A = this chain, B = another copy of it.
């Protein structure tokens, strides 16, 4: 599996990182410490003390500094060791790697690549727990599987009819609609109509769904309801999107290691829908928890089959369109990253 590094990865819900309570996480197999000083400012460090690799996440905040609680080495917020008990001189190389870190949409985002390239504009424009306009539930779960399999699951929703046949029953209408996929600069955009089905259970209507899956693995899906017949009247084109979404799903996939993935999610509805919004949130949370248990079982079994199958490969299919576009995009971005790191070599220049 290819991972891009020049991207923002979700490491935690923002509200789970309290001031002066360091938390250790793992992203792309790297141990990372997320912490806030008393003022609430975030920092992200390599989670291993330069002295003897003790995790700094077992450390203690002291004002604006962080102390390793094995032998007491003290770090400032740039990752530099500024005090060692019983020692005067401190080597310049006594520092841990720091990562660009940003709080947005109720999440803590960490940039895993070249710090100089970190651009907050690349944080996906999702709707998160800090958005007062939505009534949202949230949770997270871990998969014993690589992130690729979780991403692929989210990029090919044709599985809902089968894997979630009982937990998230869908009409025949849903099955017959074909999404339109568009590859964008850092995402795959998808939209489709479901004729004769309202986002509100038990109501007639048409539903227009938009989904954006951003690198490295962030999905925003919105459903809007329209009067029955709108899809046909518009000939399947985009409707007026002025009204807020009725259902909203935000899924954030974070690769911990090559065999472990953390999955954050929030789901709910817009406040404009009043009591309906609360019911929609509760309904979606119930569906999500049942459906994710099914996804987890299937994806971990898939990973197991991959692990015991030398030379394994997948067989492409029409319904994989989104999967293919997204993985192609990841490959392209990964190649560009590598090109940035390896300038044209002098040898090659000399031949010109």
Does A319 touch B at the CB level, under 8 Å? yes
Rounded to whole Å, the gap between the CB of A56 and the closest CB of chain B is 10
Report the nearest B residue to A176, measured CB to CB. Answer: B86
For this chain, the copies found in one complex come to 3
| Stretch binding the partner chain, chosen from A111-119, A136-144, A285-293, A295-303 | A295-303
Does A338 touch B at the CB level, under 8 Å? no
CB within 8 Å for A319 and B54 given contacts A31-B305, A70-B162, A71-B156 = no
Measured CA separation A162–B161 after assembly (Å): 56
Does A82 touch B at the CB level, under 8 Å? no
Within 8 A of B (CB), among A123-180: 152, 156, 158-159, 161-163, 165, 175, 178
CB within 8 Å for A315 and B94 given contacts A162-B69, A305-B55, A309-B53 = yes
Chain A contact surface mostly: loop
Rounded to whole Å, the gap between the CB of A301 and the closest CB of chain B is 5
> Are B298 and A70 in touch, CB under 8 angstroms?
yes
Does A84 touch B at the CB level, under 8 Å? yes
> Are A319 and B69 in touch, CB under 8 angstroms?
no
CB within 8 Å for A152 and B84 given contacts A58-B298, A71-B159, A298-B70 = no
> Are B69 and A165 in touch, CB under 8 angstroms?
yes
Query: Which residues of the other chain, B, contact A297 by a CB distance below 8 angstroms?
Result: 58
Rounded to whole Å, the gap between the CB of A278 and the closest CB of chain B is 32
Q: List 10 A-B contacts (CB under 8 A).
A: A53-B302, A53-B314, A54-B301, A58-B297, A69-B165, A84-B318, A85-B158, A85-B161, A87-B318, A93-B315
